[in-house]
Chains A and B, each alone.
Chain A
C-alpha cells in the first residue's frame, strides 16, 4: 500500500518544494509559477466535471467572471483588498455557476459541452461589445491590491502572490481530493459509468452533477481572481473559447485521475508556452499541439499516468 502511493506522493512533495524554493532562486519565475498554480486551480474544476464524464467547453466563463469581478470593483468601487477579492470573485462565479448549472445539469456529453460554450460566448460577446462599461477587447486594468490592509512593493507582492496562491492550491487540492473520495465523489463518477443505476438507487444525478458544477464554477472564479491580480488585467480573452479549450487541454495533459494532474499539466503547458515563446516564437502552438497529440496517443493517463506507470507491475493495486 505505502509503496503504491510513494511515487506520486514524492512527485507532489517535490513539486510543492519546487514551488516554494524556485521563486526565491529565480525571482523572474515567481509570476510564472503563480500563473501556473492559479490556472491549475481552474483545471481542478474541469477535472471534477471530467469525473462525471462531462467536458465543459465554456469554463473560461467562470474564470472570466472571477477576473471581471475584481476588475469592475477597481473600476467602479475603488481600491480593494485581495482578501475581499478572494471572496467576491468566487462568490460571484458560484452564484452564476448555480444559476447556469440548474439548466446545465439536464444535459450530457456534447450537449453539455455545447451549452457551456454558448453561455461563455454570450459572456465574451458582452465583455467585448459593452465597450463603455468593459473597455472592450482591451480589458480593464487591475491595480495592485493590498493584502489585509498592507500595501506591498512590486517586488514583495510577487512573492505574496506566489505563496498565497500556493497555500490556496494546497487547500483546494486537499478539499477536492477529499470531495472526490467522498460518497458524493463516487456518485459523480457513477454519472459517467452508469447514470441509470444511480437513479435506481434513489440518487438524483442532476443534484450530484449540480454540486460538482457549482464547485467547479467556484474554482474557476478563484483562479480568475488570482490571474487577474497577478497579471493586473482582465480581458474578454479570459472568457473566449480558446481559453476554455486550454483548460481542458491542461486537464488531459496532466491526467484526470487526481488533483495533482491539474498542476502538473498547467506547469508543462505554461513552461512549454513560455520557453517556446521565448526561444521559438514562430512555433509555440505547433510544439504544444504536438505535445498534446503525443500525450493522448501514447500516455493515456496524462503526465501523472506516466509517473504511476513507472511502478513495478507487481505492485499494481
Chain B
C-alpha cells in the first residue's frame, strides 16, 4: 500500500500552465514556493496573495505540522505511536490519543467499505518482496507474511488497540501523508491564507484559487512515459491524489510487471490499472480512494462514481478512462511550445 507518485506543479510545468493573467496587483500577487523533504518525499507549499514574510512564517508553521505528523506516525522512528503499537504485538494493547483514535476509526471504515482490500496490517508484505533485487518471494515466505495480515483480527475498541500476534504490524501508508497535507491546509487556513496549495510528493490539497480567481493546474505524469503528461487537472479547491504502478517495480524474466501495490489477500502485485488519480474534497479521501481503486481493479469506476469525486483511470493497455462531472480534467496540449 505504499504509494509514490510524481506530479509537476504549476511552477514546474512551464508555459502551458502559466497564469492567464499576468500578476498586476504588485508584490503580493507573486507566488511563494517553499520546498522541503519530509515523509521520504519531495514536498512543496505554494502560497500567493501574501507578502514574503507572511508566506515564510506560514510555510514554517505548515511544515512544522507535517513534521509533527511524520514523527508521530513514522514506522521508522522508535518513538512513534506506530512503533509503540507494533512493539506490543502479541503482548497486549496500547491506549492511544484522540487524534490516533480518529485515524484508526477512519482506517477501520476504509477496511469495511473496501471489503478488506484496504488493510493497515498489510505493510508486512514488503518484508517478502525485494523490489531492489527484483525477486519474487517464494510461496513459503509469502505465506508467513500473509498469516500476519488481517485488520479484522485487530482488537480496536475506539480507545485501545492490540495486535493479536507477534510480527503483526500496522502503518499509515496510504493515509498518513494525505492526512498531513489536509492538516497543513488547516494550519494555513487558520492563519487567514486563502490562495495556494500543499503538495506532498504528488498528494496535494488546494487551499484556494490563485488571487485572480483562476484555478491551479496540475499535470499528471504518464505512467509509462516518464517525461509525458497524460492529463492536466485544474483545481480551485479540493484535493488530488494518484496511485500508480510505476514508482517501484521490477519486471520478471517472463515479462510480468511487479509493482509495490500489493493485494492483502494474495500478497501479489495489482495489475489492472497502471495509475488512478482521484479528485475529492479532502486529500485523505482522495488518497484512500486511489489506493482502493488500484486494489479493486475492474470495479473501480463504478465504486468511484459519486458526487464530489472525479477520477482518471489508466488501464493496463494505457487507455484513459475518466469520470469528470466537474470538468476538471484537461487533455494535454498536443505539442507544448
State whether these chains interact: no
Point out residues on B near A: beta carbons under 8 Å: none
Point out residues on A near B: beta carbons under 8 Å: none
